[in-house]
Amino acid sequence: MEDEVVLLASSSSAVVSMNGGGEGNTSYADNSNFQQLIASVTRKARRDMAAALYRARGRPASLAIADLGCATGPNALLMVSDAVDAVLAESKSGGDEGAPQLHVFLNDLPANDFNAVFRLLPSSPLAGTGCLVSAWPGSFYRRVFPDASLDYVVSSSSLHFLSKAPSMATEHLNRGRVHVTEAGPAAVLDAYRAQFHADFLAFLSCRAAETRARGLLLLTFVARRDARPTAHDCYLWDLLADALMDMAAAGLVDEEKVHSFNAPYYAPCPDDLARVIAKEGSFALRTMQLFDTTRRRLLGPSHPTSDGDDDDEFPRWLAAETAGTVRAVVEPMLRTHFGWAAMDGLFCKYRLLLEAYYRRKSTRNKDDVTNVFLVLEKKQRY
């Protein structure tokens, strides 16, 4: 999950991955429990749709399942395991003479540590299922799989990352910022929206060629509810920009490098998604569900600080958890641009800014993130 990260370095795109296992307590593997929580929201729907697809296909002898942006760590096999388990359970309950042969395709960028993923297989839910697992490296904004080879495609916490940062003729308008902001220039939002539209169109066009008729795409990624981003939609990037500018003021990073950096990330609104899906034309929209998730759920309902409202330590915990997640995901692109030496100081400042945000009366412990769950069905061509 969430390993499709690209940044604009000078005039070309440089591709990087999440923090690997060698990064210790800042690794993506050790800081992806929030992404797992997001995936859990759609688990029942995904399992039900995998079983329904198997039935609709006439209980076929084989089925191809793909995860786009699988990354590494405990979540790498999560989505495909859910699908495999659901199909095998349906096969068994239906009294099939033999279980179907399931082909599991794991996709991510070439820099992804697929060896680490395969080392998870013997202790994963896929062990003993008889499914065939293979890795398919490459950007999912381009072709990855053969024509009409996929039945069921999942992607979670990945598609909010763009293929590259948007090109802006008015780059000076975003000085001191690294992303879209609530009160920022319309030209910046327009550039980000245009880049997302181009990327999502490319993504759907590639999957249209690779997916069989009536096959399913089940996509979950960060989104927003309104056409214009709110301050809370942007706060993670706004505070990161503030931390970078503090570092620049202290002479720890080059201020011009802050001005030239734009994160390759976009959270679309429903209208963005509907427009691109209609324009590409190969898929019928079956579900577009927006939902909010908070890290409070990681603590469980019985945890003494799960409500957080009266606990003075809760904002500190929330800031540490949030900073850990963000660092594991974006640090590789930041250190490529700003250098290794700045990272510890940057994320220390970032954590403190997050804590202040979570202590502020108007945003007290407000860490909710909006995601969208899309279900698209490949149209039958007659």
Domain extent for 135: 5-229+263-298+368-378
pLDDT tens, 141-153?
999 999 999 999 9
Total structural domains within the chain: 1
pLDDT tens, 229-247?
999 999 999 999 999 999 9
Distances from the Cα of 301 to the Cα of 176, 264, 305, 328, 370, angstroms = 40, 35, 9, 27, 21
Residue 140: strand, helix, or coil: coil
Tell whether 349 is covered by a domain.
no
Q: What confidence tier does 307 reach under pLDDT thresholds 50, 70, 90? A: low
The residue with greater pLDDT, 244 or 332, is: 244
pLDDT tens, 57-106?
999 999 999 999 999 888 999 999 999 999 999 999 999 889 999 999 99
Tell whether 282 is covered by a domain.
yes
Tell whether 167 is covered by a domain.
yes
- The 8-class DSSP code of residue 111 comes to T
Tell whether 140 is covered by a domain.
yes
Backbone dihedral region of 90: left (phi > 0), alpha (psi from -120 to 50 degrees) or beta? alpha
Distance (Å, rounded) from C-alpha 1 to C-alpha 39?
10
Least confident of 80-84, 211-215, 336-340: 336-340
Exposed/middle/buried for residue 125 (C-beta within 10 Å: 0-12, 13-18, 19+)? middle
Tell whether 306 is covered by a domain.
no
Tell whether 19 is covered by a domain.
yes
Distances from the Cα of 367 to the Cα of 53, 182, 227, 315, 347, angstroms = 36, 17, 20, 10, 17
Token reading at 140: 């999912």
Q: What percent of the chain has pLDDT over 70?
A: 89
The residue with greater pLDDT, 329 or 269, is: 269
Q: Strand 369-378 and strand 150-156: pairing? A: unpaired
Tell whether 256 is covered by a domain.
no
Distance (Å, rounded) from C-alpha 179 to C-alpha 24?
28
Q: What is the CATH number of the domain that holds 27?
A: 3.40.50.150
Tell whether 337 is covered by a domain.
no
